[in-house]
Structures are given as structure tokens and as C-alpha cells.
Amino acid sequence: MNSKTDENLSLGFTDESETHMRYLAYARQAAEEGYENVAHLFRAVAEAETVHALNHMDALGGVDETVENLKKAVAEEESEMFSLYPEFIKQARKEDRTEAVMSMTWIQQSEKAHFNLFRQALESLARGERDLEEESYFLCENCGFVAVGVAPANCPVCRAPQKMFREIV
């Protein structure tokens, strides 16, 4: 069933998701300029945009059971790692866009780590394990790499120092 309403929900999901990220970027800029309360406002409305996007996803029936979601995540990360970002990087190099090449290369490398984490989770559940072992996850706020257990001294992707990692709770 791919109705006009489904198309609208999908477009709305994309728009709300992009708006969420855009508002977080605006919040970061406002904070850098010393506008802490404006930054707070942008973060609050960004969270509202997340609620909107999730409501659209629910209406689309876009979330399956966990094993199926892991399979989708593995496929998505694999596609980004091997297809999407290599093409993006190639184009950025052609246009001599050094900062874009760096950003996209970091993302491609981070996607490989994400792919491996999701694949390992899927394999654990396929072996009949009830859930993953409890772990601590640390996000490099510079490139998006996710470390398991402890934050490394330096990010293996972008070389950022340990202080750039934030524990995800």
C-alpha cells in the first residue's frame, strides 16, 4: 500500500528529520556566539521535530521487530560505507572540496564501525541470546565514531582526543 498519504508521511518524516538536525546546528552556532538561551530554544524545538518524525514513522509502520530493524541497519550502513560515500568522496575530490572530502571520509570510516556493531548485535540475537551484554558506548563528537567499553585516547577515525568523546546513556 503506497498511497499519497504514505508519500506525504515519508516526505514529512524526511523534512522533520532534516529540520531536527538543522536546528541542532543552529543551536551549536548560537551557543558558540554566546546566545545560550537561543541555543536552548533551538534544542527544545529540535526535540519537538524528533517527535514529529517519529509520529510519521509510526503512521507509516516503518519500525519492525528488533531483528528486522538490525537487518535494515546493517544493510543501510553497508550501503553507505560501500556505495554512497565512495561516490560522494569521488565527486568532492573532483570539485577540490577538501573539507567535504574529510567529512565524508570520516563518515565512511565511522559507518564501517557502525556496520560492525549492528552486525555483531544481529549475530548475537541469531545465536539465541536474549539481548546484548550491557556496554558503555562513547560517541566521538567530532566524526561520529562509536567506541564500546571506554573512550579511546584518540579517535581511530579522526584522531580527536579523548575529551571529544561523550558517553551515550
Residues 106-145 have pLDDT tens digits of 999 999 999 999 999 999 999 999 899 999 999 999 999 9
**In terms of residue numbers, what domain contains 161?**
134-169
Answer yes or no: are the C-beta atoms of 100 and 90 closer than 8 Å. Answer: no
Residue 146 phi/psi, 5° resolution?
-115, 120
Q: pTM above 0.75? A: yes
Q: What is the pLDDT of residue 2?
A: 79
Please check whether residues 146 and 92 belong to one and the same domain.
no
Q: How confident is the model at residue 75 (pLDDT cuts 50, 70, 90)?
A: very high
Asked whether residue 145 falls in the same domain as residue 121, the answer is no
- Strands 165-168 and 146-148 turn out to be unpaired
Domain shared by 125 and 162, yes or no: no
Do 56 and 11 fall within a single domain?
Answer: yes
Question: Could you give the number of structural domains in the chain?
Answer: 3
Same domain, 68 and 97: yes
- 23 to 29, 59, 111: CA distances (angstroms): 10, 24, 23
